[in-house]
Chains A and B, each alone.
Chain A
Amino acid sequence: MSGISFKQVCRHFGSGESRVLALDSISLDVNDEEFVAVVGPSGCGKTTLLRMVAGLDFPNIGEVCVDGRTVVGPGPDRAVVFQQFALFPWKNVRDNIAFGLECKRIGHAQIDASVKRYIDLMHLQGREFAYPHQLSGGMQQRVAIARSYALDPAVLLMDEPFGALDAQTRVIMQEELVRLRKNNKQTVLLITHSVEEAVYLADRVVVMTRRPGRVKTIIDVASVRDREKWNDCEHIEQVMDLPSFVHLRTMIWKILREQL
């Protein structure tokens, strides 16, 4: 069980006159193995939400729990895929992926096997010894995802992971994520500004208000997906053409537009 729960979380930045309330009593539960996407206007504090689960930021009031325990710091049970990938430029692909495994102090043979598995899984064969700057944006993101997946984390946190990619690469990576998820069910919290991406990937979509960020609405996508058999479609554009998809997307857009 590795659900995430936000309990009455408030977060403000600055002090005195310049104090800004970023998050206002957020309560939200992400169930074990559930995929939740958070959308909202920029500056609504959605990245801060994710950082709190990662243990990189902390609420002023309330608490964030993972697996029933209050988050007190970062840990390999909660992997983060950052917007700008944050690959170590001085390490090659193989060593970037191996980094988290080395922190776990497991045997070399086991590390090698695991690295190889994720290099194959993310189609990075032949680029093991390339450095990040020698790779395209899409390839870099594959490495970043492989680095997080290699730890086999219970919770996967993704902060606009495809925002820096071009449109075609983004579609490929989104499909890739769906493919990975078929074999490997994790609890996922995805921060995105793309409504389509949120509806395509998530079980539930959380829409936030503009600053101070509050939960505006939560939309259940999973029940529609199952009922309308989205998973029978092979490609993302087929799903996006379905009337049920278009309906959900438009509905979320309307709610979001009220916040702009």
Chain B
Amino acid sequence: MGEAGLTGHVRRYVLSAAGLCAFFAAWASASSFSQQTLLPGPTEVVRVFILLLFEPFAGSTLLKHFASSLLRFFGGFSLAVFIGVPLGLCAGWSRKFDVVFTPLFESVRFISPIAWVAFAALWFGTGIGGPLLIIFAGAFPPCVINAYRGARFVDERFVEAARTLGAGRIRVVFQVLLPASFPSIVAGLRVAAGMGWQSLVGAELIVASSGIGYLMVQAQGGVKTAIVMAGMAAIGLVGFLLDLTLRRAERMFFARN
């Protein structure tokens, strides 16, 4: 990389930092003109955020709430991956399966994850099953759609090459179709993680007795808006880290292909 590239890099960081600074400045000044309960300022939110790390609120500290959120998230997300990806792949590879499954899926997938709250509460109460169902509802469609696309649009040349080299049906599926679909599957996981994480907090607002969403509901009840905002900040931060990790994984696969 030349000097121009390096300064370009620095410039990007400076611009990003300037954007963030402007945001915080606007937030701080807006908050100084209003009541603290209506819009707490950034310093107050940071203070509360750090406080929550050590002092329990709504039953436990922020980290514990966070841990139970993450546990639910990975539960629902894994279920969505292990059911959604194989279903999507089958629909992409088999015309018959496609015809049976896809119309059904296409109509169900437009139902918002939060719409399942009634059934989550009805079937599972405040147990782990409720949030799991809602996260699953959020993460499942992207898993299916991307696996389907990956399987459906495998370059025909690879399949033909494999067949002329003597590969049978099973070998074509596992050694050609599956690895060729992989980049699209990984891209799907990234979208699914985002959707799952968003639905999780929605689910916890309604059907849970721990977790970051629950913490926010409890804080709202006591008009402790700084805590609500600290919860929002935590959600954003974790979502960002989650996406960053998956993006790394995605880039690894794309680099090879």
A residues at B contact (CB < 8 Å): 54-56, 73-76, 78-80, 82, 84, 86-91, 99-100, 103-104, 131, 133, 147-148, 151
Q: Name the interface residues of B151-210: CB closer than 8 Å to any CB of A.
A: 157-158, 160-168, 171, 175-176, 179-180, 182
CB–CB A99/B165 < 8 A:
yes
How far in angstroms is the closest Cβ of chain A from B69? 35
How far in angstroms is the closest Cβ of chain A from B205? 42
How far in angstroms is the closest Cβ of chain A from B177? 11
CB–CB B165/A90 < 8 A:
no
Residue of B nearest to A131 (CB): B256
Interface of B is mostly: helix
Taking a contact as CB atoms closer than 8 A, the residue among A56, A91, A103, A133 that contacts B166 in the complex is A103
**Which residues of the other chain, A, contact B166 by a CB distance below 8 angstroms?**
74-76, 100, 103-104, 151
CB–CB B161/A82 < 8 A:
yes
**Which residues of the other chain, B, contact A100 by a CB distance below 8 angstroms?**
165-166
How far in angstroms is the closest Cβ of chain A from B108? 32
How far in angstroms is the closest Cβ of chain B from A189? 13
Please measure, in the bound complex, the distance between the C-alpha atom of A84 and the C-alpha atom of B156, giving whole angstroms: 12
Please measure, in the bound complex, the distance between the C-alpha atom of A90 and the C-alpha atom of B256, giving whole angstroms: 7
Please measure, in the bound complex, the distance between the C-alpha atom of A138 and the C-alpha atom of B157, giving whole angstroms: 19
CB–CB A88/B176 < 8 A:
yes
Kindly list 9 other residue pairs between chains A and B, CB separation below 8 angstroms, not including A74-B166, A89-B257, A151-B166.
A74-B163, A75-B166, A79-B164, A80-B160, A88-B161, A90-B256, A90-B257, A99-B175, A100-B166
Known A54-B164, A78-B164, A88-B179: A103·B171 in contact at CB below 8 Å: yes
How far in angstroms is the closest Cβ of chain B from A139? 17
Known A89-B257, A90-B257: A74·B164 in contact at CB below 8 Å: yes
Interface of A is mostly: loop
Please measure, in the bound complex, the distance between the C-alpha atom of A78 and the C-alpha atom of B163, giving whole angstroms: 11
Please measure, in the bound complex, the distance between the C-alpha atom of A84 and the C-alpha atom of B165, giving whole angstroms: 16
B residues at A contact (CB < 8 Å): 157-158, 160-168, 171, 175-176, 179-180, 182, 256-257
Taking a contact as CB atoms closer than 8 A, the residue among B165, B171, B175, B256 that contacts A133 in the complex is B256
Known A90-B179, A99-B175: A56·B256 in contact at CB below 8 Å: no
CB–CB B256/A76 < 8 A:
no
The winner among B158, B164, B257 for most chain A CB atoms within 10 A is B164
**Which residues of the other chain, A, contact B161 by a CB distance below 8 angstroms?**
80, 82, 86-88
CB–CB A80/B164 < 8 A:
yes
CB–CB A89/B165 < 8 A:
no
What are 5 A-B residue pairs whose CB atoms fall within 8 Å in the complex? Answer: A76-B164, A86-B158, A87-B161, A88-B179, A90-B180
How far in angstroms is the closest Cβ of chain A from B129? 38
Taking a contact as CB atoms closer than 8 A, the residue among A74, A79, A133, A148 that contacts B257 in the complex is A133
How far in angstroms is the closest Cβ of chain B from A133? 7
How far in angstroms is the closest Cβ of chain B from A84? 7
CB–CB B157/A103 < 8 A:
no
The winner among B158, B165, B257 for most chain A CB atoms within 10 A is B165
Taking a contact as CB atoms closer than 8 A, the residue among B167, B168, B180, B257 that contacts A99 in the complex is B167
How far in angstroms is the closest Cβ of chain A from B255? 8
Known A76-B166, A103-B167: A88·B158 in contact at CB below 8 Å: yes
Taking a contact as CB atoms closer than 8 A, the residue among A78, A89, A103, A151 that contacts B168 in the complex is A103
Please measure, in the bound complex, the distance between the C-alpha atom of A88 and the C-alpha atom of B256, giving whole angstroms: 11
**Which residues of the other chain, A, contact B168 by a CB distance below 8 angstroms?**
103
CB–CB A151/B165 < 8 A:
yes
**Which residues of the other chain, B, contact A80 by a CB distance below 8 angstroms?**
160-161, 164
CB–CB B256/A89 < 8 A:
yes
Please measure, in the bound complex, the distance between the C-alpha atom of A87 and the C-alpha atom of B162, giving whole angstroms: 10
